[in-house]
Amino acid sequence: MYDLLIAPFVDYVFLQRALAGCVLLCISSGPVGVFLMLRRMSLTGDALAHGILPGAAVAFLFFGLELAPMTIGGLAAGLLLAMLAGAVSRLTLQKEDASLAAFYLISLSAGVLIVSMHGSNVDLMHILFGSVLALNDQALTLIAGIFVVSTVGLVLFWRGLVAECLDPLFFRSVSRLGTPIHFAFLFMVVLNLVGGFQALGTLLSVGLMMLPAASARFWVNRVGPMCALAILFGIVSSVAGLLLSYHAALPSGPAIILFCGGIYVLSILASPRGLAVTYGRRTRPHRAT
């Protein structure tokens, strides 16, 4: 059992780095995913994850796979996409989800074309799917910084975020902080997606944010426990995915997200709000009084 579960993380530094990066990402992005889900903005996270690609691709064009330029480029592109989608929804008849879908498709295709024209298939795969086993000290420092900024932001805006989830109209009627908190929250979303991009790439970074949050929603009602459970699900999936990647020689990022998906399916089937309990209540015969 030791050789199967513990020895890989003791013997290999690259697995220790990968685990440390994943744990920090889970703690940082898990609560953000919960608030995205409760605000019915789950697809916004997916759109923003794809939206960072052209910025990272342009940085790759000029600087190669350097961490700092790709991080700045991805962050700028994600924030620009969020602002453009918000502006279109406010200045035209189109809803924000439709404008987000349009911009993310444009961003994804443009980013793939830029990388394909000036890089190899290996570069493209690295940007799209990441390489969590290749995290270095610089990448871990960046992820740790994002963890600190995101955690501080959640602590500062916790009450406002919860109020917007429960009753956004009432919150906006009694406070002028609705719009600033919304944009601060979008910044935290993009920031966490940029951190996840370093480990899981643009296509999978949103998985570690949304799947544990969606799973936690089946088990608990309160926002605090839901965030804690999302973090726990993410960490468990990260450990299991890294172990599967090591023992079976499989890609680490998809393995982690696959375990997140497995927990989600299990939550659908066996949780207190899952199919088994719900179906059992509906089919249980009523006693005559």
pLDDT tens-digit readout, 197-240:
878 887 788 899 999 999 999 999 999 999 999 999 999 999 99
Q: What is the pLDDT of residue 280?
A: 65
Taken in order 85, 88, 91, 94, the sign of the CA dihedral is negative
- Structure confidence at residue 119 as a pLDDT band (50, 70, 90): low
- Is the pLDDT at 111 greater than 50, yes or no? yes
Q: Looking at beta carbons, which pairs linking 245-251 to residues 24 or more positions away fall under 8 Å?
A: 245/133, 246/8, 246/12, 246/15, 247/4, 247/8, 251/129
Q: What is the mean pLDDT of the chain?
A: 85
Q: What is the pLDDT of residue 87?
A: 77
Residue 213: predicted pLDDT: 95
* pLDDT value of position 289: 47
Class of CATH domain 2-282: mainly alpha
Domain parsing of the chain, residue ranges: 2-282
Alpha carbons 187 and 104: distance in angstroms, whole number: 17
Place of tokens 């620009």: 80
Structure tokens at 71: 């991080």
Mean pLDDT of 45-53: 82
Residue type, 263: I
Say if residues 194 and 206 touch (Cβ distance below 8 Å). no
Residue 183's Cβ-side half-sphere holds a number of Cα atoms within 13 Å equal to 12
* Residue 142 CA from chain centroid, whole number: 16
Sorted by sequence, the CB contacts under 8 Å of residue 151 that are 6+ apart come out as 27, 28
